[in-house]
Chains A and B, each alone.
Chain A
């Protein structure tokens, strides 16, 4: 029996038992949708994080104080008074003098009360040296207006969502004046939307020139205290060596031992590594879910095919009587289960793509339906059809012609 004959024959039989065929296909479709959606989201998230991380630059390093547990528990900001774990201007100056350090910027963040057009809200505010914008590279870009200059006073630079969402319908624009903790700040620029996972928090930021902005929170800071420090490494320098130098210098400043630092230096490579580990474990969980989905789908097909064989014992006998060999019968039943598998795969792929589109449009979830995923779904659905159909088809093929013919 040649391939096209077998396909035509299978279709006739599937059509004859169309309700059962469709139910089986639906069972598989659900599994395939799960696979398509899960793989595409994980691929999308992965890709987005990678793009953002690479925009971020691998030459960045962050120095931040290690907060005491009590402070973390109280939910306070980094800049509250406490006994250990602080960074100072002296540290900034010392880092600047370390070989391999290209640029250093200071930043801090704290919650402030904002008011604009009669609306009062509470939001996070970031006093930050303007050169940090350059250090962030392509991760941060200006949509309208400009970044502030270091020397400027009473100016602010708004993240995209900070400008569009903080005050509800009243959008903050370049030239708007926003009150922060009672003082007037003129908006000089709005940031281009970063979007995605990272942007979901960074787009809400409101940046102020460091020295000027810091004054807003003077009561919460020690003189010369700095919230966190951005460090950019010069080209060709070993990131780990520079990191080590910074740690030694600051440990000396803070009079702490190297194995008991009250601050932490983290490189962008380390961040990527952490993110990568988290992503990997998430993907493993997702892989387990898809595995379960596929096993369920496969069992559905196997069940249908067994029923199929049982119901068609007589037919198998007839086929054998007119000259069908074991291989013909095997081929015929396998074709049928592969058709079910493939139908489930194609329909699942189409519905999965629709689900992905909705997720992307409605919830801004990053998705990426790679060709690799599409290819995988095809191989998967054919494979599930083959595997699930193998045993029933084998049983059909091995049937004794006399017994099959006499079966009523």
Chain B
């Protein structure tokens, strides 16, 4: 039985126009298939186009050309509002700098995506609380991000990424701002979540991290290399 395809990129190109006649081709002919339950790392040095790829995979940006299917839905020509909806329903983000909202507690940060969901979201608090307990922060619910350590903040961010039960979790250098021990713990958490059936894509420049995943995709100069 083959797992369903949650993300497919076909001939994705992304071109930036800087000034009048400078054209930067950030991504060229990217083809990528991600199946449900995969743990994939995308490895590339800075400037390789991996951030652009992340933005396109996460529907934060649209490709210049090519097709992008998320959970079988063609999304490359969607307008901002539709992309926002798909993002809210099917994508969970984990960022290098955690990107928690400083005025909200851990629990409120995790709850935030549910505030924005269009469906009637039942028991938001309970769901958010359960996830924080899952990532080992059951005793930090009412703490503000500033009262948490880096590792704890990233766990809150991971709980937030999971709260809308996304098809894909996109993690952008999730250990980049953590010491190696805490970074390792966060990686372990991703592996556990993978075992629980989550689809996780980790973008990194760190070979070591990339090697811990089953599948690794290298990207260089805007192209995938095998």
Contact = CB atoms under 8 A, between A and B. Distances in A.
Interface residues of B, number: 27
B223 interface: no
Interface in B58-72: 58, 60-61
Interface of A is mostly: helix
Given A321-B93, A323-B117, A326-B80, A405 B112 contact: no
B103 A323 contact: no
Interface string A58-73: 0000000000000000
Interface stretch (A135-143, A311-319, A370-378): A311-319
A12 B99 CA distance: 17
B109 to A, nearest CB: 9
B60 A401 contact: yes
B225 interface: no
A405 B85 contact: no
B103 A13 contact: yes
Contacts of B85: 323, 325
Interface string B89-103: 100010100011111
B84 A320 contact: yes
A3 to B, nearest CB: 11
A97 B113 CA distance: 90
A255 interface: no
Interface in A312-367: 314-315, 317-328
Contacts of A328: 116
B116 A322 contact: yes
Nearest to B113: A322
Interface string B112-152: 11011100000000000000000000000000000000000
A367 to B, nearest CB: 42
A12 B58 CA distance: 28
A318 B93 CA distance: 9
Nearest to B81: A325
Interface string A94-131: 00000000000000000000000000000000000000
B115 A321 contact: no
A321 B60 CA distance: 7
A155 to B, nearest CB: 79
B8 interface: no
B221 to A, nearest CB: 20
Contacts of B193: none
Contacts of B101: 315, 318-319
B60 A326 contact: no
Contact of B99 (A5, A314, A326, A327): A314
Contacts of A319: 101, 112, 116
Contacts of B60: 320-321, 401-402, 405
A9 interface: yes
B112 A322 contact: yes
B78 to A, nearest CB: 12
Nearest to A408: B97
Contacts of B195: none
A192 B160 CA distance: 76
A323 B61 contact: no
A16 interface: yes
Interface string B21-53: 000000000000000000000000000000000
Contacts of B95: 405
B99 A318 contact: yes
A1 interface: yes
Contacts of A324: 84, 88, 116
Interface in B10-30: none
Interface of B: 55, 58, 60-61, 80-81, 84-85, 87-89, 93, 95, 99-104, 108, 112-113, 115-117, 160, 164
Interface of A: 1-2, 5, 9, 12-13, 15-16, 314-315, 317-328, 401-402, 405
6 contacts: A12-B103, A319-B116, A323-B164, A324-B116, A326-B81, A328-B116
| Pairs A-B, 3 closest by C-beta atoms | A323-B88, A322-B113, A325-B84
